[in-house]
Structure 1
């Protein structure tokens, strides 16, 4: 079997050098724009150039994460970022936006396409679809079990990448709008504020219902038949990257799990560890009581004195180490730098494992009590344990290769390269040793100094064996390299089809419950989109006119095979209008002979993405509810497909494979259950159904008052997930269809101007 790639993160240059020093086979990083970790330091062009040169000199690879959604007016800046990737010779780009993928495929064929985990590849069908769209590698959803990973990894000709260590999101990556719609900062655009980590009031008390533990698969990575094993952490420092990379390098090299190195990682940064769902459903993956870095368990408080505590330490603890203590009722542990400590009544610099230590507390420490857990949150010893080599600045700068031709005549010497030439006049006499002249010319032109060039090939024409002084050759070189003008690649966007401008807008209702429509006059409705589920009774579709029906597959489905037979029967029954919300739908439906619509969860935010959707078989797209009004208008006016604008929706803030219920799995009825939550005065509803959790804001989104500013082909009203009585649905329909907002609605990012 081919050797697995160990892929490490680099939020900055130092983390990149640390990753390679401790055994990473490849490094992934972000640029200053379009990185899903926008708050990391990230790389400018000079840093990227040098780092790629350094990595390639060692036979290692570099992948650039250009993995945010891109708005229409940002496409020129996206080209600049991709130009940088091309000039710096990165090995691949990691993408979420389908428009970015189209641009790379058509304009940058030298760059491999890797599908970001933000594309929510969670089944084999989705991976197959992305392979057909030109991706050579897919980054798998973290939620998958080992069996599911093996199934996707069996696809011939497609590389797979799986996370093995680091932070976890409660939501499927790419399916979270929580930070975007509630805080105005989109995770899909690299700006997540992590509202899921907050404390909520709920039926089980005030808890962190959605704050995940960290993933740590340890030696289970040896069972994973993927191409690449990925460490999360582009916002972590070089020390963390070094320690985690070193830990997994040893495992992959057959040296096994190292307890001491594991403890080092926990001291640097760690929430409690989890295997997530690798071996099946696990309800212990949430850390409900505390958030943030915990550290290495160092013992429990045995006695509390005035300004002091005592405990038998499980590990060596020294002055200036970081200490954290879990305090009941507090969201975060109480932390401080250890300044004074006694063992046996004497002041000491260090307490050895097993010794009873008396630790002096800082002023204004909270009330502590016997039995509270104490953690070693940082260690001076560990901070000094992971040194690494750095190259000299400029040592691995990648330069432009030049083929130089030098011609020596009796009265002048000429140098030419890249269409430029210079000459110097003089009187040149026969050389004593003509062979040494070529060495001198080569040596002179190999000195490229601070220029962006490197000598690739030298052709010398010296038929009379003449001699040229080295000083003159150096002057000739300087003149030539100064004369050459390097023009940066000017890339233009691939053309898109003729823009589709709707002359008249229609109206769509989307629902998962046909009873909701009972009080609505369907003569007012141009289309009814029905969201299918395994339990949906297809016989009920006969109560609606077939020409108005569109059938929608769900965005998330871990077992798509359950839809194969129902979809086949519906197609045979003449249902030709379909909608998909994730890439797996492309594999479930025929490539031809249907009217296919892309739902908003496929994130069409630019005309390049819409053209790519059209190329993939879509006849219509849906605007994203996290988009802003100006961009929606631009797409409705200029996109090569008709656009649907959702104007009323209970938008899922996230969808998760983690169950929020407190009851044991064995006794769970698995039916639909709604739970009320509250945070900072805002109300939320969590839907738990069939081991999946969806979160909704207390207020629906409503864009009715602004909708007429967007010349969409259709406006859409959604009655999905949350239950509406026929009368309530009819009231919403009447109001929204008159372009009036429903009272108490939310606007999301609609009027943000694109800064989300």
Structure 2
């Protein structure tokens, strides 16, 4: 437990527009994060243009707050020039940090803007201490951790790395690991990695089980929001957050407005300040909890912070605003179109309410004609029965929820007033004046001090001399400036007099000079981009890659591996998660796989799991040591922590999986020192983008791999719908029904998405249609590519036939006849993914 003198973590607020930014400051945020019109992961927010960003930087800095700007999308090669211009601008206006997802952008910023702090976005999918250590070595000042971590894991990560840690504490909770989700991209063409997520996870699904006879049986209620989590709220966990060493408490909500942001920030501000005053007596007030449940929420939970919740994490009934329960309907007057409600909490005229009717969904209204005992009232109290107008019929017993509060709205409007004290920087003012001398006015704020003297000397007054009251009146009139007078002292000798116009001029000059003095340190010089763009141009100058391409198989078990090697596949990948019931990649299985590959003279690559939590560190370290002893030809790694851990124990070559999102060649530049021997291109790239990267001189010396077949993973989630809706329990108590039967989610259009669960109880949702570039092999076969067949989820017999068809394709087949054979074999239509459409 920290004492009352300890520094509190930063309170970080979102802002999607200018009004929300002002409210965030007024409500007590220490810093605000916003997105510009470019490269922002919330492209559907209003966001800030360049003039507004510059204005926001000054607005915040003059009030002692910080501005972080999200540049947290993946950057295409053709966008690099725009990125460089944008970063140069953000550096010059004094951004306190940029929040990044793209590793290539990190390389460019650390190379050419070393003074610009970088925060690693949660889109980087950092979930272990090793990943934080690697990012620290790459020049990242702060890491925003994955939302799936417990507070014990966060504490361990902080103690290991001593890097600033930022944690989401309130707002929407993605069901998937951020940065590990292609659901919106592959299903709807709107990529979350490019800021355009369509949130298909919030739609309705039915969970089905496939029986031994191949029949599909529903095992959940029909069309529920099975992948829609409750919103996160950790206000009651502030003590654990502080003990864990969290540097910044982040509120989600750049798509939300001033009422939401102002209310949430204000509640957390008050709670943090109360903790500082008396940590041992910390508690959250009921009025604060009520406020948090009045603004937008899908019901609230602690997420994963206090341990995996299982089914309690989800909100299957609805994916949108829930509000706060305040009472039940007692009666509905059909003639007068009004209802009587027995209140359990206060209700005000002007409040927004929603009645959850038993049939037909929800009935909402703004409360008008509020009466109690026949009397019109502005407020009906808890325990009373109140009538109000409601145009649609409801039934006795229906629940009533408060969805907006007129009192909260008034509070937000007050915060928006230009003279609101919470929006201003407290300053200390001092004035000295005497006849025959210039008035001297001193203004101090944020550790800076300016001294301004009057243009003329004061005269001796014959009547009406300057008094402390007069000086206070004129010199503390700071109006719409960023400042307010926290203290004012005056030293008056004799009976001086000066024109009031000079007092006002002194005040205005002091404000201008103090503003300039505060802002000057933030002004960074612009970088000459000519040298930078020469390197970019060199990377984009195509150097045609040529040579025979070959097939690679990612095998999910030994039987599949044997099939691949028997077919003469020259490179095999195995290991990592197991999706085969009763099978795991033990030391014996890995050793057997290595021996089989050596006998077949095939290159053997051992994969690590896509996600490795901090709590799994010992097991993963043991896995790496065992694998290293077997001396494979390299490791296939899928996240930053894996790179660091492998480098802790091995000097074998590293192959970077597509989850590193290779959208531009500078991503490889950043990772070159880690010994990257090969990389897999992102499945979100189109054909032109693939070929531009393949032919980049920066990639000429590494093996480049492209996914050409498989059921691609739409998302990876710590939440398992099978355990939640079949097992009905938290993961630690789950009976593992996933190991007995196969399951899938069916959407409203009758499209089925297979659900796979690994041995770590993480859910992998697969695409409904297999990716196949069989018909595109003609354009790929002479590009010196490793063409990966993802066969981890296949039956060995089917896998053998898939391999045969792709071998025919490389030998000159792969036409419509073979494509039709493949569709018949798999019993479905195939997709070419983004190979032609790409993502915006």
Deviation, 1:704, is: 2.5
SS class of match (1:731): helix
- Taking a change above 3 Å as real, the CA distance of residues 619 and 389 of structure 1, as seen in their structure-2 partners, is same
Measured in 2, the distance between the counterparts of 1:531 and 1:327 equals: 51
Measured in 1, the distance between the counterparts of 2:407 and 2:711 equals: 52
For 1:216, the equivalent position in structure 2 comes to 233
SS class of match (2:326): strand
The question of whether the paired residues in 2 share the 8 Å contact of 1:645 and 1:712 is answered with: no
For 2:591, the equivalent position in structure 1 comes to 539
For 1:432, the equivalent position in structure 2 comes to none
The question of whether the paired residues in 2 share the 8 Å contact of 1:579 and 1:598 is answered with: yes
Q: How does 1:50-449 map to 2 (within 5 A)?
A: 50-202=55-207, 203-206=219-222, 207-224=224-241, 225-254=245-274, 256-283=283-310, 284-306=312-334, 307-328=337-358, 333-362=362-391, 365=392, 368-386=394-412, 387-389=414-416
The question of whether the paired residues in 2 share the 8 Å contact of 1:31 and 1:81 is answered with: no
SS class of match (1:695): strand
Measured in 2, the distance between the counterparts of 1:373 and 1:222 equals: 34
Measured in 1, the distance between the counterparts of 2:556 and 2:234 equals: 38
For 2:476, the equivalent position in structure 1 comes to none
The question of whether the paired residues in 1 share the 8 Å contact of 2:570 and 2:602 is answered with: no
Deviation, 1:487, is: 8.7
The question of whether the paired residues in 2 share the 8 Å contact of 1:163 and 1:231 is answered with: yes
Measured in 2, the distance between the counterparts of 1:385 and 1:570 equals: 60
Report the RMSD for the aligned CA atoms in angstroms. 3.0
For 1:504, the equivalent position in structure 2 comes to 548
Measured in 1, the distance between the counterparts of 2:194 and 2:352 equals: 34
The question of whether the paired residues in 2 share the 8 Å contact of 1:200 and 1:678 is answered with: yes
Unaligned stretches of 5+ residues in structure 2? 1-5, 208-218, 276-282, 426-504, 519-524, 579-583, 824-828
Name which of 599, 602, 606 aligns with 1:551.
606
- Taking a change above 3 Å as real, the CA distance of residues 455 and 539 of structure 1, as seen in their structure-2 partners, is closer
Measured in 2, the distance between the counterparts of 1:163 and 1:520 equals: 44
The question of whether the paired residues in 2 share the 8 Å contact of 1:500 and 1:642 is answered with: no
- Taking a change above 3 Å as real, the CA distance of residues 667 and 67 of structure 1, as seen in their structure-2 partners, is closer
The question of whether the paired residues in 1 share the 8 Å contact of 2:57 and 2:67 is answered with: yes
Q: Which moved more, 1:516-525 or 1:239-248?
A: 516-525
Name which of 739, 742, 766 aligns with 1:696.
766
For 2:570, the equivalent position in structure 1 comes to 526
For 1:3, the equivalent position in structure 2 comes to 8
1:630-686 C-alpha deviation (Å, 9 max, x unpaired): 211211111423321100121111111112122224652335353222112211122
For 2:471, the equivalent position in structure 1 comes to none
For 2:210, the equivalent position in structure 1 comes to none
Is residue 728 from structure 1 mapped to residue 798 from structure 2 by the alignment? yes
Deviation, 1:134, is: 1.7
With the length of structure 2 as denominator, give the TM-score of the two structures: 0.75
Q: How many pairs align?
A: 671
Measured in 2, the distance between the counterparts of 1:293 and 1:712 equals: 52
- Taking a change above 3 Å as real, the CA distance of residues 86 and 509 of structure 1, as seen in their structure-2 partners, is same
For 1:513, the equivalent position in structure 2 comes to 557
1:378-419 C-alpha deviation (Å, 9 max, x unpaired): 122210112225769xx99xxxxxxxxxxxxxxxxxxxxxxx
With the length of structure 1 as denominator, give the TM-score of the two structures: 0.83
Deviation, 1:247, is: 0.7
- Taking a change above 3 Å as real, the CA distance of residues 391 and 712 of structure 1, as seen in their structure-2 partners, is farther
Is residue 676 from structure 1 mapped to residue 744 from structure 2 by the alignment? yes
Measured in 2, the distance between the counterparts of 1:300 and 1:311 equals: 6
Identify the structure with the greater helix proportion: 2
Measured in 1, the distance between the counterparts of 2:324 and 2:417 equals: 30
SS class of match (1:262): helix
1:206-256 C-alpha deviation (Å, 9 max, x unpaired): 211011111001131222121111111111112211111111111111264
